[in-house]
Structure 1
């Protein structure tokens, strides 16, 4: 995916004031707005506080979501165009681009996906893709963050349904076993991310951040289970979480390498192995 400079106007210093107005008008939390424009919440927070500048691409996505004129956000036009048309797709154009990028990356691998492929899948032009995501790195980051947010939200929803920590751990294992098309697609993106992380510092930071959050989730469940008496009293939650997540990663890689009926068999074997590990090393006797 070749880079494109996109809009060349530099964001003005008072762009943060305008963005705050757009978020307020949207009637959602700052974190939810960041999710909608596929932006790291911490970057949005720093930009709003004045410790970093919004990029032109970020302002383009914010304008798209807020249905305001991008030039008004940039400060090059005196007033907002209140009649800007809505994008006729669920979640807006940036989210559509990211969803299609994730699907294509899962199918082909990131380096085999061209901007033209994404544009064709979105029924738009390559220029429109570059308008929202000028460079390859920004598009990859947005796709990975979207996967992270989806994964985190799915885990939170399932953990909320569990009665105790043992049930929570079973839910986590089920969620991480790639049985469904969606689970396999997400794992395929993670595998591509691992390969890219070995070559890119920026992607490596994303990779580290995701796995920090994931291991903290498992550690918290294990610590809670020890307190509830459903897990062994002598286990070290941090060490046990590291072992379990590493086992999940390795087994999932084997499942993803299988195809056809053997894929379902491999997923069953993965789930059985993880369940046995938990039974023999984590659950209270």
Structure 2
């Protein structure tokens, strides 16, 4: 992707976070990105193409800032905890991305084409979390009776709700993070040190 396309998508994410999907105007986007409207249509085809690429950009950006420094194979539970907690960071990129995600999710109620995209991204997120829970359970770091798929679905739904409440000022960031940690403990059972698990093996 060219730097110009990236600049357009950054501006689109910013405008969607501020005004919602329905409030995105190509003319306003062109001014914000410092390009012509013709160039936006050249790169993205039409408004639907622009929205699709913006959605992909938002998801890729979230994947970057939620990637943990931990080894997902050596400490899958720690990696999962980081992945979810990194959704609750008081930095402009995370706030903007989470707000834009919420705007896409809300608009998907009325737009079937957006609904499919949101559904696919959500399913992938749940699958990634479930895979980490399964790996942690195999290491003995998650209670043996935990259903990975169900726990992943509840935890990702929890982070969406906590993020929305934090972003709207209904919840402090510290409380949101504390509630998420509590949710992780309830869903997954007690945290066991991975090094201790390895010693037992």
Question: TM-score over 0.5 for the alignment?
Answer: yes
Tell me the distance in 2 between the aligned counterparts of 1:119 and 1:95: 13
Q: Which residue of 2 aligns with 1:113?
A: 24
Q: Is the 2:73–2:135 Cα contact (8 Å) retained in structure 1? A: no
CA RMSD after TM alignment: 2.0
Matches within 5 A, 1:61-100: 91-100=2-11
Deviations 1:52-102, CA, capped at 9 Å, x for gaps: xxxxxxxxxxxxxxxxxxxxxxxxxxxxxxxxxxxxxxx332222111111
SS at match of 1:112: coil
Tell me the distance in 2 between the aligned counterparts of 1:221 and 1:247: 17
Q: Does 1:226 align with 2:137?
A: yes
Decide which structure has the larger Cα Rg and report it.
1
- Which structure 2 residue ranges, 5 or more long, are not aligned? 192-201
Deviations 1:127-183, CA, capped at 9 Å, x for gaps: 222222232211111100111122224444545478512311221122121422111
SS at match of 1:229: coil
Q: Does 1:248 align with 2:164?
A: no
Which one of the candidate residues 165, 169, 189 is aligned to 1:283?
Answer: 189
Tell me the distance in 2 between the aligned counterparts of 1:166 and 1:227: 11
What is the CA-CA distance between 1:224 and the residue it aligns to? 0.8
What is the CA-CA distance between 1:222 and the residue it aligns to? 0.6
Task: Select between 274-283 and 151-160 the one with higher mean Cα deviation.
Answer: 151-160
Tell me the distance in 1 between the aligned counterparts of 2:45 and 2:184: 45
Larger relative contact order (CA 8 Å, sep ≥ 6): 2
Deviations 1:176-203, CA, capped at 9 Å, x for gaps: 2142211110111111111221111211
Deviations 1:207-248, CA, capped at 9 Å, x for gaps: 011001100111011101111111111111111111111111
TM-score, normalization by structure 1: 0.62
Tell me the distance in 2 between the aligned counterparts of 1:125 and 1:107: 21
| Count of paired positions | 191
Tell me the distance in 2 between the aligned counterparts of 1:187 and 1:162: 27
- Which structure 1 residue ranges, 5 or more long, are not aligned? 1-35, 37-90
Q: Does 1:175 align with 2:86?
A: yes
